[in-house]
Amino acid sequence: MTQRSVLAAALVLALAPSAAGAERGSPLRLFAAVNWIAPLDDSPGRLDGDVASLEASSSSGWEAGLEWRFNPRFGLEASIARAELDIDFGADRLGTVDFDPIYLAFNVHVWEGEAVDWWVAPTLMLLDWGEGDFERGVELGETSDEFLGMTVGVDVHWADEWAFSAALRYFDAQIRFGGGGEAAVDPLVLRAGVSWRP
């Protein structure tokens, strides 16, 4: 099979309507969920002559958003989320910071059956660190930043309009402090909730 034939077959598959998706009808999907944020990295830090790791601790929060399917295979998703992370310096709690992202994703629905809908998505995180409350004279530097990551998600339908919804995201992200210091966060974000297609 030639490269042109492979590309043509892939294009037909991508643009072909999904029978299950067509039956559900509405291109709009609304969702609400609980999030679990698990930072996967840390950075060395120095405060008042002390050297230790700077790291964010795991936390939970919420997320709400919508997806618009402009094609049975493709959709644009936007959501807002909120959580609060503890920042630790070694074994000591240094303070807390708000974790308030807006997520923008291009969803590619790779497989949709009668009960299960799988998708993957390149995802842009517009992150607002909100207000930080730190000890030992530490202050936030830049409070807004953008990070590119990846999402994999699934909806498991129990009715035509309703589904259990879950997604897993990863971003290579950092928190920046005043004076030019920063700490790697690299959050893995697990989302679990419900979705509704009106």
CATH of domain 3-196: 2.40.160.20
Tell me the residue type at 55: E
Contact of 58 with 83, CB cutoff 8 Å: no
Contact of 48 with 136, CB cutoff 8 Å: yes
Mean pLDDT (whole number) for 26-45: 89
Taking only the tens place, the pLDDT of each residue in 57-70 is: 899 999 999 999 99
pTM recorded for the entire structure: 0.81
The residue extents of the domains of the chain are 3-196
HSE-CB for 118 with a 13 A CA cutoff: 3
Whats the size of the chain, residue-wise?
A: 198
User: Could you write out the three-class secondary structure of 121-133?
Assistant: EEEEEEEECCCEE
| pLDDT-derived band at 26, boundaries 50, 70, 90 | confident
- In whole angstroms, give the CA distance from residue 152 to residue 146: 19
* Phi, psi (deg, nearest 5) at residue 23: -65, -35
Taking only the tens place, the pLDDT of each residue in 107-166 is: 999 998 889 999 999 999 999 887 777 776 667 667 788 999 999 999 999 988 999 999
Report pLDDT for 1.
Answer: 46
Our measurement of the distance from residue 189's CA atom to the centroid of its chain's CA atoms, rounded to an integer in Å, reads 6
Report pLDDT for 155.
Answer: 97
Report pLDDT for 3.
Answer: 44
Residue 83: both structure tokens together: 């959580």
Report pLDDT for 184.
Answer: 82
- In whole angstroms, give the CA distance from residue 102 to residue 74: 20
- In whole angstroms, give the CA distance from residue 153 to residue 169: 9
